[in-house]
Amino acid sequence: MTDYQTIQAKSVNQWHASSDVIVVGFGAAGSCAAIEAAAAGAKVLVLERASGISGTTCMATGHFYLGGGTRPQLANGLEDTVEDMFNYLVANTPEPDLNKIRLYCEQSVEHFNWLVDHGVPFNDGFYRRKHYEQPTDECLIWSGNEKAWPFSQQAKPVARGHKVENVGSEGGGLVMRKLNEAAQQLQVEFQFDARVTNLVSDEQGHISGVRYTHFGEERFVAARNGVVLAAGGFAMNQSMLEQYCPKLAHPGVVKQGNPNDDGAAINMGLAAGGYATHMEGALITAPFYPPESLLKGILVNSHGQRFINEDSYHARTMTACLDQPNGIAYLITDNACFGRPEIQMQELIDAWEDIATMEQGLGLPAGSLQQTLADYNAHAAEGKDPTFHKHSDWLQPLIEAPYAALQCSLGESVYVGFTLGGLRVSAQGEVMTEAGDAIIGLYAAGACASNIAQDGAGYSSGTAIGESTFFGRRAGRHVASGSC
């Protein structure tokens, strides 16, 4: 196991190089930190563990959660305000940092324009259907809980998911290519195959460099202004998952990320005196739609009872499934709304000609599902859902036999997830101690830092890349300013 202990500068026999700013990792956060630091006049060295531009962002669809009146929103006649975006994000965040969220909302339009100015392409299309990711190259999509109760009552519902102009699900790679081009134009230096394992501190405890290995060779690089950690989360570190995030550690959950998401940046920050927060947080999901018609079904637990409005963002819905007794959940549909999930993360259990037989087949308490459906159907016929407030668009009595059940239980359905917790940082990206003091010369952004996203239930697609790029920029500007 790697020893991430911080090394004292006085013990370093030879410095192999120096730079104003060292950025550890070149994903969404690291690239933006490097670009902004270089644009401010700093000499920037990126140390990337992979052999080229890679990382988890390259595996993503390429959504950014942005609002407040972006160009695509205005082009589609959507009226969004900073206050509505702020209220929405606060309502979806368990322990919201109001200052960070307000900054993100107030500067969201500027951030969108900055991305465009640095080559990241967005068109003005609007994919209006319910989908976990638009299969087209259209930009806007409803990417969270905006239209779902109770959030629709707490902030005006507006589409804020902005996908990069790319057909399908591989837009993240395009984002990184464009940000890499911008960094190259600013003369950012790169060292690939560089595994950073230790921070270096001076006699005052200020971070002044790093130790890394390059094909087994040990090297030290000094940082005149500071170091920005941007080396991803810890989804690929099973021992850390078991310690901090047991839900994601479950063998029934496929971990999303790249092989280098092993928590190294978090561990280096902790060794330097930093504090980790929201480490139990993770996005864990198993989208059961599209087809959209499945949203007209109902989710029930092992007691035959509903537990959520099924039109919620898929991560909120599936998090609720995980929270049911023994993680057991079934999606119940009738012939009128049945469809096989496009990404096949849920299997069809069986179909029955009546609810009583289905109830027996699923091993539910006698009469439970029959009562649940009778109540649901009576209200749905009137376009109402007084218990969970599912939107009327998705309310339809389930009365057309045969009736089908799709498996949504943990260990039976295919769940995927990634970590959301990380080092506590200021709005400028400074790594903070448990007491709330900044560690001079040390910054963090992206999946190794905790900023806005804290759990899957309140997540909206695009939040991770959105906050990574936004706060990565802030960290880059601050460390380059020399104010550290």
Q: Pull the structure tokens for residue 25.
A: 């990792």
Distinct helix (H) and strand (E) counts, the chain: 14, 22
For residue 268, report the phi and psi dihedrals to the nearest 5 degrees: -65, -40
Residue 1 belongs to some domain of the structure = no
175 and 54 together in one domain? yes
What per-residue confidence (pLDDT) applies to 472?
98
Pair 38, 75 in one domain: no
Residues 68 and 102 in one domain: yes
Residues 67, 55: one domain? no
CA-nearest of 264, 209, 256, 207 to 232 is: 264
The domain that contains 364 carries what CATH number? 3.90.700.10
Let me know: does 471 contact 451? Beta carbons within 8 Å: yes
- 413 forms beta bridges with 410
Within 107-237, strands assigned E span 140-141, 161-163, 189-191, 194-201, 207-214, 217-229
- The whole-number pLDDT of residue 1 equals 45
pLDDT in the model for residue 483: 44
Structural domain count, the chain: 3
At residue 186, what is the residue type? L
- pLDDT < 70 positions in the chain: 1, 483-484
Are 397 and 366 within one domain?
yes
Q: Which of these three, 138, 163, 188, is where a domain ends? A: 163
Is 69 found in the same domain as 43?
no
**Are 408 and 427 members of one domain?**
no
Task: Tell me if 32 is assigned to some domain.
Answer: yes
pLDDT, the chain, mean: 96
Residue 2 in any domain: the answer is no
What's the pLDDT at 170?
87
Per the structure, the complete domain to which residue 152 belongs is given by 63-163
Please write the tens of the pLDDT for every residue from 180-204.
999 999 999 999 999 999 999 999 9
pLDDT tens string 109-164: 999 999 999 999 999 999 999 999 999 999 999 999 999 999 999 999 999 999 99
Domain final residue, candidates 378, 393, 413: 413
Domain shared by 108 and 177, yes or no: no
Same-domain pairing of 294 and 403: yes
Do residue 422 and residue 277 come from a single domain?
yes
